Amino acid sequence: MNDLHRLIVNKEHHQYRHTVAWNLAEEYRERGLSPIERMSDRFFRMCSEERAVILEGEQTVFMRTVANIPDIFTEDEWREIKAHHYIHELGYMSNLSPNYYGAISVGLLKKREDADEYGKKAIDAVISLSDKYLEEAKRIGREDIVRVLTRVPRYPAESFREALQFFRILHFALWLEGNYHVTVGRFDKYMYPYLKADIEKGILDEASALALVEDFFLSFNKDSDLYVGVQQGDNGQSLMLGGVDEDGDEIYNLLTRLSLEAAYHNKMIDPKINLRVSKKTPLERFAEATELTRAGLGFPQYSNDDVVIPALERLGYEHKDAANYTVAACWEFIVPFVGADVANIGALSYPKAVDTAFYRHLSHCQSYGEFFSAVKREIEKQAASICDGIKDLWFIPSPFMNVLMDCEIYGGGKYNNFGIHGTGIATAADSLAAIKKYVFEEKCVSAEALICAVKGDFEGAPELFHKLRYDAPKLGNNDDYVDSIAIRLLDCFANALSGKRNCRGGVFRAGTGSAMYYLWHADEIGASADGRRRGEPFGTNYSVSLFARVKGPVSVIGSMTKQHFLNAINGGPLTLEFHSSVFSDTDGVEKVGALVKRFVELGGHQLQVNTVNREQLIDAQRYPERYRQLVVRIWGWSAYFVELDREYQDHVIARQAYTL
Amino acid sequence: MKGMIFDVKEMSLHDGPGIRTTVFFKGCPLRCLWCHNPEGLSRGVELSYNKARCRGCGCCQAGCLHPECAPFGKCMFVCPENCLQTVGREVEASVLARELLTGAELLGHTFGGFTFSGGEPLFQTEFLLALAKELRGYHLCVETSGFAAREDFLSAIEATDYVIMDIKLIDPTLHKAYTGRENGRILENYAILRESGKPYLIRTPLIPDMTDTEENLAAIKELIGDDPWEKLPYNSLAGAKYQMLGKTYQM
């Protein structure tokens, strides 16, 4: 850890921050400004208020000194807007992948020529702010920074360092404008040409390039505490590596490797590393990537090109856009530059569908088939209700974001699809398997008795509870009995969305993610027929149930790669968790890498591999001060364990670890 | 042909090359004081009790009519935390092989093979041979203490592709003191292994003051010369498993 790293870890740079107490909303209301005029004005003022601070030893400059961003609408106005429109989360269009390269390669002055009046004003504000940094660099005698900022962001970057600095300015400005979950995109695709040129010219060698990437990656952690989502760490700074280009040629270059290494060295939660892989990816790359897993940061997260690209094409994405996919804040598949999808607009709860059918229909169903049809109808009803509930969606327009996208996104981008998560598939499949086996096949428990036990949270039914929870078939054992139920559930969900059009003219995409709904949806129902007690959460994303006893990671992969992801590609990974000791030698690392490769070959769509050490986590709950740097993966992002709320901490501890 | 096993582990590390599945045979003629698989010692089915999770609700004491529970005097099918479980499964070789092959097929070319461990797999040599026959075509590895009849040892190494064998102690008195048996047969079998032409690995568990002494390690080195040799660090976590089986860990 160098001094800069230590300073950021210890949050010493927070001393340069201040807050502003402006009542912009009231002023804008009085002046009668339109939403875009307000956004434009606020961005200008934020840029003016920011001051230039250059930390000792840093190469990539720009960090936030204004901690808060005042609202642009008064509460009454916001209520009025919400009365007429569907507002997604905070109201901004998030989870976008802007075209940074499009600006880095021509310079902001050139971008300014084609921008509208708001775009021009935003660009001017960014340049003025950059000039403050230039002056500061001159004042403290940092000639290297002076040289960089004399060129960028006005003019195109001519070196790797200038390109990284240019990126930082753009990314910083997008957050400052109020946008959130601003992703990084395919970093080793668009940045590599700059690195390659510098290496060829002899300006950089591998070691100096690595140092630059490490410094650049550190910059993602300077302001990330201000980018809070549902929990600290949920900030969407996802970076994609690898994958094929539109001609099917694989990208895996020096920058791919340096990025993996830099993330390993930095051991910080940002940027969040993703890796695109396919059947063609050689085994040794999986081993290289697993080295990063070993760092315990919960990444890289893998996405399978063989599945994702054709599945996106089926949804109507052009090949060149599908082939260029990246991930949103967590794992939702999005296309850069032209995609205006809202990949996380809602979530379906499979257990809720089973629960409703269970209480309303089970007692008069003659067969399992009949009961499953009732569940299917509930899935369709829920899907229809989610889709129909989203009308007149409106976004706060962000002028600078618009500058960096290749099409006008607020009026409707090239793609305007909505993604719906699917929560608790294992809880639902396990419940259905238990019902099928015990009520309809073995007939060892009547529908009434089962309903009564589940309703009463298994009070007074210890033997039935034990049977349901520990003896019944569970998803994750490569057992077709349950796996086939999960296949049908996912198909039902995908079919229920198929053919529906959303209010922006796009389609709906079925997903396998859960986001925070694994806790929220679990609270909506009581106990379930899989032996889950009232109040127990579901697994995250596309996972087996928390208490399922499974044979091991191989069987889990067997169970979780059988489903038809070509019809359900909004994203959401299978999570495999290994005890940290598995990674203690290269043999373990290579074996985990080989398992990941096999997952890809078997047609799995997305995978997250975590290292956990239960004893350490429990100790960290007791002595948080000793574990400030302990990182865990939550549902699509990594976080510092001790900064999480207790319920998220407990879930991480409860999750299945295959202690090998 | 039936045999008694206590576990099947997917993706076992440290049990041979590639992603492997390991079958743990139940029953062992040795009683090494440091044994980290106490559930592999006895041939019979045992009851394991997870004291750490037990909430003391008393459900298991209420009495039940399950024939499986009769030998233990406690009911295994009511515990809300699943603290009571039997360890040991008697299984037909062909049935077990079918289960094992499902996992192997799933892994395809990434699959490394099967490892027979224990317990002592040569304590059930006939079962081992039957299983090996069913799994023909896959890379097979056996992990043995070497404490077995000459014929059993010969046929087991013949039926497998790779042998991992323990040489724990050279001094016969100490060997008897720490493992319950003398090492004459083990050393004879080692000589057979050496001549067999079969690839093998010698392992020594490093137990402080017992096997991990200068004299012992030097003596092993003298015996095995340049053989591939792996020294396993002492696993201090084994104590918990003894408690679950109602046994006393003597370390």
**Considering the domain boundaries, does residue A106 fall inside one?**
yes
CA-based nearest distance A438→chain B, Å? 16
Asked if A31 and A159 sit in the same domain, the reply is yes
Quick check: is B250 in a domain? no
Per-residue pLDDT tens over the stretch B81-110: 898 999 999 999 999 999 999 999 999 989
- Considering only CB atoms, which chain A residues are within 8 Å of B114? none
Paired with A606 in beta bridges are: A303
Predicted confidence band of residue A580 (pLDDT cuts 50, 70, 90): confident
Interface of B with A (CB under 8 A): 8-14, 18-19, 21, 59, 77-80, 82, 102-103, 106-108, 110
The alpha carbon of residue A553 is apart from the nearest alpha carbon of chain B, in Å, by 7
Indicate if B203 and B79 belong to the same structural domain: no
Tell me if A203 is assigned to some domain. Answer: no
Residue B237 in this model has a pLDDT that exceeds 70: no
Is any Cβ of chain B less than 8 angstroms from the Cβ of A365? no
Q: Kindly state whether residues A520 and A581 are assigned to the same domain.
A: no
Please report residues of B whose CB lies closer than 8 A to that of A471: 77
Beta-carbon-side half-sphere exposure of residue A329 (alpha carbons within 13 Å): 25
Residues 472-501 of A with CB under 8 A from B: 478
Is B27 within a domain?
yes
Q: What CATH number did the domain enclosing B143 receive?
A: 3.20.20.70
| A-interface mutation test, from B11, B13, B69, most A Cβ less than 10 A away | B11
For residues A304 and A365, state if they share a domain.
no
Q: What is the pLDDT of residue A634?
A: 76
Query: How far does the CA of residue A158 sit from the closest CA of chain B (Å)?
Result: 45
Are B73 and B179 contained in the same domain? no
Alpha helices, DSSP H, located in A456-530 = 462-466, 480-497, 517-524
On chain B, the residues whose CB falls within 8 A of the CB of A468 are none
Domain end call among B87, B115, B147: B87
**Number of compact structural domains in chain A:** 3
DSSP A643: G
Mean pLDDT of chain B: 92
Structural domain includes residue A363: yes
Q: Is residue B244 part of a domain?
A: no
Together in a domain, B70 and B189: no
CA-based nearest residue in chain B for residue A600: B107
With CB atoms and an 8 Å threshold, state whether B10 touches A555. yes
To the nearest whole angstrom, how far is the Cα of B21 from the nearest Cα of chain A?
10
Is residue A306 assigned to a domain? yes
Is A105 a domain residue?
yes
Same domain, B81 and B29: no
Q: Is A267 on the interface with B (CB under 8 A)?
A: no
Question: Does B98 share its domain with B180?
Answer: yes
Average pLDDT over residues A573-588: 86
Q: What is the span of the domain harbouring residue A518?
A: 342-395+403-550
**Are A582 and B59 a contacting pair at CB < 8 A?**
no
Q: Can you give the pLDDT at residue A646?
A: 83
Q: Are residues A451 and A367 in the same domain?
A: yes
A202 part of a folded domain: no
Examine residue A199 and state whether it is found in any structural domain, yes or no. no
Q: Chain A residue closest to B7 (CA)?
A: A551
A368-388 helix and A350-361 helix, angle to the nearest 10 degrees: 130
Cis amide bond preceding A537, omega within 30: no
Output the pTM of the full model: 0.93
The answer on B52 and B136 residing in a single domain is no
**Alpha-carbon gap, residue B191 to A152, rounded angstroms:** 74
| CB atoms closer than 10 angstroms to residue A448 | 11
Q: Is A509 in the same domain as A595?
A: no
Using a CB-CB distance cutoff of 8 angstroms, which residues of chain A are in contact with residue B11?
Answer: 552-554, 591, 595, 658, 660
Q: Does the distance separating the beta carbons of B77 and A466 come in below 8 Å?
A: yes
Residues A581 and A525 in one domain: no
> Are the beta carbons of A551 and B13 separated by less than 8 Å?
no
B240 in any annotated domain: no
Q: Which of A4-8, A31-35, A576-580 has the highest mean pLDDT?
A: A31-35
Nearest residue, CB atoms, B19 vs list A558, A595, A601: A595
Question: Looking at CA atoms only, how far is residue B225 from chain A in angstroms?
Answer: 25
Taking CB atoms and an 8 Å cutoff, what residues of chain A touch B14?
587
Mapped onto helix, strand or coil, the DSSP state of residue A543 is: coil
Same domain? B121 vs B192: yes
Residue B249: inside a domain: no
| A91 secondary structure, DSSP code | S
A324 & A362 share domain: no
What is the extent of the structural domain holding B144?
A: 2-44+90-234
Q: Enumerate the residues of chain A whose CB falls inside 8 A of the CB of residue B107.
A: 554, 598
Q: Does A587 touch chain B (CB under 8 A)?
A: yes
DSSP per-residue letters across chain B = -EEEEEEEEEEESSSSSSEEEEEEE---S---TT-S-GGGT-SS-EEEE-TTT-----GGGS----TTTGGGTS-SS--TT--EEEE-EEEEHHHHHHHHHHHHHHHGGGEEEEEEEES-GGGGHHHHHHHHHHTTTS-EEEEE-S-S-HHHHHHHHHH-SEEEEE---SSHHHHHHHHSS-SHHHHHHHHHHHHH---EEEEEE--BTTTBSHHHHHHHHHHHTTS-EEEEPP-GGGHHHHHHTT-----
Contact B77 A554 (CB under 8 A): no
Task: List the 558-577 stretch of A: residues with Cβ below 8 A of B.
Answer: 558
In this complex, which of A555, A591, A601 lies closest to B19 when CB atoms are compared? Answer: A591
Tell me whether residue A424 is exposed, middle or buried, using C-beta atoms within 10 angstroms of its C-beta: 0 to 12, 13 to 18, 19 or more.
buried
Q: Which amino acid is at A325?
A: Y
Both B127 and B140 in one domain: the answer is yes
Q: Which of A51-65, A236-250, A634-648 has the lowest mean pLDDT?
A: A634-648
Based on the fold, state whether residues B58 and B170 are members of the same structural domain: no
Does B12 reside within a domain?
yes
Residues with Cβ within 8 Å of A554's Cβ and at least 6 positions away in sequence, in order, are A478, A595, B10, B11, B19, B21, B103, B106, B107
Give the number of residues written for chain B.
Answer: 251
Chain A closest-CA separation from residue B8 CA (Å): 8
Q: Which of the residues A290, A547, A551, A611 would you substitute to probe the B interface, choosing the one with the greatest number of B C-beta atoms within 10 Å? A: A551
- Domain end: B22, B56, B87, which one? B87
Question: Is the previous residue joined to A300 through a cis bond, with omega within 30 degrees of 0?
Answer: yes
pLDDT digits (tens, 9 = 90+) for B175-200: 999 999 999 999 999 999 999 999 99
Q: Could A602 and B13 be called an inter-chain contact, meaning their C-beta atoms sit closer than 8 Å?
A: no
Give residue B240's pLDDT band: very low, low, confident or very high (50, 70, 90): low
What pLDDT score does A1 carry? 63
**How many angstroms separate the Cα of A289 from the Cα of each of A258, A299, A572?**
11, 9, 20
- Cα–Cα distance for residue pair A309/A400, rounded to 1 Å: 29
Check CB contact under 8 Å for B10 and A554. yes
With bands split at pLDDT 50, 70 and 90, how would you rate the model's confidence at B235? low
pLDDT greater than 80 at residue B248: no
Look at residue A343 in the predicted model and tell me its pLDDT. Answer: 95
Distance CA B158, CA A645 (A): 58
Is the domain of A541 the same as that of A577?
Answer: no
Average pLDDT for residues A59-71, to the nearest whole number? 97
Q: Which residues of chain A neighbour B164 with C-beta distances below 8 Å?
A: none
pLDDT band at A659 (very low <50, low <70, confident <90, very high): very low
Least confident of A41-45, A316-320, A578-582, A603-607: A578-582
> CB neighbours (10 Å) of residue A12?
11
A595 contacts B110? CB cut-off 8 A: yes
Question: Is residue A247 very low, low, confident or very high in pLDDT (cuts 50, 70, 90)?
Answer: very high
Over range A35-49, report the average pLDDT: 98
Nearest-angstrom CA–CA distance, A271 and A221: 8
Do A417 and A436 lie in one domain? The reply is yes
Q: What is the pLDDT of residues B13-27, one digit of tens each?
A: 777 778 999 999 999
Amino acid in position B19 = I
State which residue of chain A sits closest to B105, comparing Cα positions.
Answer: A558
Q: Which of B53, B77, B110, B115 to mutate to test the interface with A (most CBs of A within 10 A)?
A: B110
Same domain, residue pair B62 and B7:
no
In B, minimum Cα distance to A461 occurs at: B78
Q: What pLDDT does residue B12 have?
A: 82
Q: Are residues A599 and A498 in the same domain?
A: no
Does residue A108 sit within a domain? Answer: yes
Tens digit of pLDDT for each residue in A411-428? 888 999 999 999 999 999
Q: Is A438 in CB contact (< 8 Å) with chain B?
A: no
Instruction: Report if residue B215 sits inside a domain.
Output: yes
Mutate to test the interface with B, among A290, A294, A445, A463 (most CBs of B within 10 A): A463
Taking contacts as CB-CB distances below 8 angstroms, the residues of chain A near B81 are none
Helix or strand (DSSP H, E) at A321: helix A319-322
A600 and A452: one domain? no
Number of domain units in chain B = 2
Spatial contact of A338 and A406, defined as CB atoms under 8 Å apart: yes
Is A591 within 8 Å of B9 when comparing Cβ atoms? no
- pLDDT classification of A637: cutoffs 50, 70, 90: confident
Provide the β-strand partners of residue A640.
Answer: A631
Domain edge (last residue) among B32, B59, B87? B87
Q: Are residues B124 and B206 in the same domain?
A: yes
- SS3 assignment, position A383: helix
DSSP H helices in A527-654: 553-560, 586-601, 614-622, 646-654
The reported pLDDT for the residue numbered A660 is 42
Query: What ipTM describes this predicted complex?
Result: 0.91
For residues B40 and B51, state if they share a domain.
no
Choosing from A515, A550, A585, the residue where a domain stops is A550
Place of tokens 């004003």: A121
All residues of chain A having their beta carbon less than 8 Å from the beta carbon of residue B82 are 466, 469-470
> Which whole number is the average pLDDT over A544-554?
89
Mean pLDDT of B121-134: 98
Beta-carbon separation of B106 and A462 below 8 A: no
Mutate to test the interface with B, among A554, A578, A599 (most CBs of B within 10 A): A554
Q: Are residues A145 and A245 in the same domain?
A: no
pLDDT given at position A235 = 86
Please check whether residue A660 is in contact with residue A578, taking contact to mean a CB–CB distance below 8 angstroms: yes
